[in-house]
Structure 1
Amino acid sequence: MDLPDSVIVVVLVRLPIMDIARLKLVCKGWKSLLESSYIRDLYENINQRKFSSPWSILYRDLSSNTALEFFCEEWGFRESLGSCVSRFLDEIKAANKNTRVHILAITDGLILTELGPETFRVADPVLREWIKIPHPPPYSSRQDEFQGAAIVTNINNVGYKVVRYGVPVLGVRVMERDRLCFQIYSSDSKSWTYRHVPTQRPISSILPSNPINKNGYLHWLCRASQVIFAYDFYGPSELCVVIDLPQRSAKGTQKPLWHGDEATLTISCGSVMYMNTDTGKPTQQLKIWRLKKYTSGSSSKESWEFLWNLRPGLELCLGCVPVAMHPFDKEIVYLVTCQTNFFQTHARLVIGNLRTKKFQLQKDWKHKTMEFADYEPCFFHQFVLPQRLGSIPCPP
């Protein structure tokens, strides 16, 4: 049958993501069509509420450098994404003579790993591919220090960028600590570049170790200064956006996870969400905002949309820490609570429906040897099977 392209598009965007990946092999015309930005946008709009894409909540265990799965939805996939990640990391380790694999970042179906000093790999555990990134050149400024690395993707670009980030070292005067320094590897240009980005706001000496990636932006949630630093690595801007948090607590306070405010960033329905639990009051409260405006100096009301406020009366477990939201449903939230028994800690996942105000406590997590203080929200990742399933762009 010779069907018009308009009819073919209507049929294809209603198929599961794995079928779409296989249909790219039919002909060059279908491959070009299915990899177009038009199809990606249409697929997202049609399937936003169907939960058709497999995903997992992964915990990055710093002690063993593994990705442990807390929760998953397979949606027709033969195995969970967490199983794909664990198996593939073992394959990378075996292929590199059992060298220890350090997980640096997880986002958009890709994992950034380090197998030695500045020896980066970008891996797709579903397609079982990994690419060695060229070593970054020595940076010239002695006043800069890179503290971490992340990977950035953009929905309109099939490539990626590996970003090393940091701030000036402690020897620099405080008034000069108002910038971020980046080393950026682009899969498009196949080269590294160096960049200084002013922030127009003083920066603490250490940035959080897990920035959130959303459509080309990296977001750092800085609790000490009560702001979010966000920078668009695919845009023309030369300034870092500084966004005040909607609910500011006492600056500089460092409280354990079971006492005080706990906050984290997550992605849901295509937006950055800020979640905050106040455990210092007699009854725990959970509040959630959606980031709607990327403009420095804007008021909290302009930058944030207030979505949920679960007030006293809800029987939440003491010490619940928000870690993620459902990537396709902003009414579902995931929290972690821990109970300590002698020298063992039992971690449990709490799934909450914000509309019905019902929370369900899941069974114990199978790893029970970690300390409660290790369950930092910043080490939890949403690992969502991306809408584009193609090979990783390779260096020459």
Structure 2
Amino acid sequence: MESLTEDLWTMVLARLPIKISTGLKIVCKQWKSIVESPFFREVFQSMHQNSSSSSWSLMSRFDEDPEIVGHYQCDTWGLDRSLGSFIKSFLADKQQKHKDQRVSVEAYSDVGLILIHVESTDREKGVIYVANPVSRECVEILIPDPLPKRFGTYEYSFLWQWGLVTRTENGVLLGYKVILIDKLLRDRKLSCRIYSSETGLWSLETFHLPYSFNHHYFSGYPISLNGNLHWLGWNNDRHDIVLSMDMYATCTGSDRCRVTPFPDLEKTTMFKRFCTPCQGFLMYMNITKVDGSLEDKLCLWKLQSGGWQLISEISPDLTLAGLDCSPSLMINPLDAKTAYFWSNKQERLLSINLHNGKKFVIHNQFEARIFLTRQRERESFDVRIYYIPFILPQWLHRIPNTVSIKQPLTTTAILHG
């Protein structure tokens, strides 16, 4: 074995799952050098570029069992259980450390990181963790000041929203930002407290929205993608829109915020509108009635800077599908050709090829790679408020080292816009 060249070792080690790579580094200096090299990352990603080789889940915000539908046992990560179980285990460990305090997941990122919030008590300030629940790597960050209370002594927690965005380059995670958003709008201005891993400091920033919103029009978790936060909500006319905020843009003012109406507002749709991050884009899918036709169309759109682009349009056979308007409606985050639905009639998870499919494929509940935990009977719940996609990338993004500076937030903090 000592006679093997580094190229051959790279070819051998790159066939192992990501989860093992951390352990490989402590075997010897040669392996550590190989695993940390850009060449190893390129070889690994080329070997695991199959669309079915990473893990993802549709997470619920309030359930004890957070996952609705998910994919695991992939070659890339080598997981033997679902992402939800890793998150629950990680939360249990933090709960042991912070007894008598509420510990919860507040945000998910597009590079497999989550944001854990430990609510403050009279004894200590609040703490947040940026963490990878699978590798169990985490960074602890102190919240500089307690959240202000509104309306006397009662705190309206729904007026605060957490977010987590990341900055990557050539497949390497360079930094992240933790965002605490004050959803009580004032004159189309949205105030945010932002922690940057690159400075180790909290700052204040103000975002100028294109027009006035009511805080009730923001829905649930924002979707983090490419340094942007995307909310699904409504404008003042109660039309479904996507509000996008660029957290890494160098410009100021309203150029950092964009409101995009959904492309099928004039059509009758079967499902509540819901988006999925897929292959670096925000995707939207629905079944609509086409003007002048009795035929249903399953349409897929991709959000770009210029608006929604129609990717595919097919006419599936809905006769035996028995589809339900449930939150298990989802596009495969790594394969834009595959979509999943829940069928009340079949009591099974269905999938379909969005490019040329006519028939739905019925999945067994106990398949190793695709699973469904259970069907919630909550038709009154809005999918945009209670569910969020969570995806592990096809590479292990190590959390960047942060500058250890604990600075209280003051009126001299940075203001933008």
What TM-score do you get using the length of structure 1 for normalisation? 0.75
Is 1:198 the counterpart of 2:228 in the alignment?
no
Q: In structure 2, what is the Cα distance between the partners aligned to 1:97 and 1:147? A: 23
Percent identity for Structure 1 against Structure 2: 26
Is 1:113 the counterpart of 2:116 in the alignment?
yes
1:90 aligned partner: 92
| 363-372 or 77-86: bigger deviation | 363-372
Q: In structure 1, what is the Cα distance between the partners aligned to 2:46 and 2:278? A: 14
Q: Which amino acid in the other structure matches residue 303 of structure 2?
A: L
2:251 aligned partner: 237
From 299, 318, 321, the equivalent of 1:287 is: 299
Q: In structure 1, what is the Cα distance between the partners aligned to 2:281 and 2:181? A: 23
Aligned ranges for residues 177-196 of structure 1 at < 5 Å?
A: 177=188, 179-196=189-206
Q: In structure 2, what is the Cα distance between the partners aligned to 1:290 and 1:38? A: 32
Q: Which amino acid in the other structure matches residue 79 of structure 1?
A: D
1:163 aligned partner: 179
Question: In the TM superposition, what is the alpha-carbon distance from 1:196 to its structure 2 partner?
Answer: 0.8
State the secondary structure of the residue aligned to 2:192: strand
Q: In structure 2, what is the Cα distance between the partners aligned to 1:82 and 1:73? A: 10
| 220-229 or 106-115: bigger deviation | 220-229
Question: In the TM superposition, what is the alpha-carbon distance from 1:182 to its structure 2 partner?
Answer: 1.6
State the secondary structure of the residue aligned to 1:274: strand
Gap change, CA 1:193 and 1:386, over 3 Å in 2: farther
State the secondary structure of the residue aligned to 2:215: coil
Question: In the TM superposition, what is the alpha-carbon distance from 1:72 to its structure 2 partner?
Answer: 1.7
2:325 aligned partner: 320
Question: In the TM superposition, what is the alpha-carbon distance from 1:351 to its structure 2 partner?
Answer: 2.3
From 149, 154, 163, the equivalent of 2:162 is: 149
Q: Which amino acid in the other structure matches residue 327 of structure 1?
A: P
From 375, 395, 402, the equivalent of 1:387 is: 395
Q: In structure 2, what is the Cα distance between the partners aligned to 1:16 and 1:96? A: 32
Aligned ranges for residues 196-345 of structure 1 at < 5 Å?
A: 196-206=206-216, 207-223=218-234, 224-238=238-252, 239-249=255-265, 261-278=271-288, 285-293=297-305, 298=306, 303-311=307-315, 313-315=317-319, 316-321=321-326, 323-337=329-343
Decide whether the 8 Å contact of 2:163 with 2:179 is kept in 1: yes
1:75 aligned partner: 74
User: Unaligned stretches of 5+ in structure 2?
Assistant: 121-125, 151-157, 366-371, 405-417
Gap change, CA 1:4 and 1:36, over 3 Å in 2: closer
1:343 aligned partner: none
Question: In the TM superposition, what is the alpha-carbon distance from 1:194 to its structure 2 partner?
Answer: 0.9
Decide whether the 8 Å contact of 2:223 with 2:388 is kept in 1: no
Gap change, CA 1:324 and 1:28, over 3 Å in 2: farther
Question: In the TM superposition, what is the alpha-carbon distance from 1:21 to its structure 2 partner?
Answer: 4.1
Q: Which amino acid in the other structure matches residue 70 of structure 1?
A: V
Aligned residues: 367
State the secondary structure of the residue aligned to 1:82: helix
Decide whether the 8 Å contact of 1:69 with 1:82 is kept in 2: no
Decide whether the 8 Å contact of 2:57 with 2:70 is kept in 1: yes
Is 1:373 the counterpart of 2:406 in the alignment?
no
RMSD across aligned positions (CA) = 4.0
User: Unaligned stretches of 5+ in structure 1?
Assistant: 340-345
Question: In the TM superposition, what is the alpha-carbon distance from 1:127 to its structure 2 partner?
Answer: 1.9
Q: In structure 2, what is the Cα distance between the partners aligned to 1:373 and 1:166? A: 27
Question: In the TM superposition, what is the alpha-carbon distance from 1:15 to its structure 2 partner?
Answer: 5.2
Q: In structure 1, what is the Cα distance between the partners aligned to 2:347 and 2:289? A: 18
Q: Which amino acid in the other structure matches residue 333 of structure 1?
A: A
Decide whether the 8 Å contact of 1:350 with 1:362 is kept in 2: yes
Q: In structure 1, what is the Cα distance between the partners aligned to 2:146 and 2:61? A: 30
Q: In structure 2, what is the Cα distance between the partners aligned to 1:165 and 1:277? A: 33
State the secondary structure of the residue aligned to 1:92: helix
Question: In the TM superposition, what is the alpha-carbon distance from 1:387 to its structure 2 partner?
Answer: 1.0
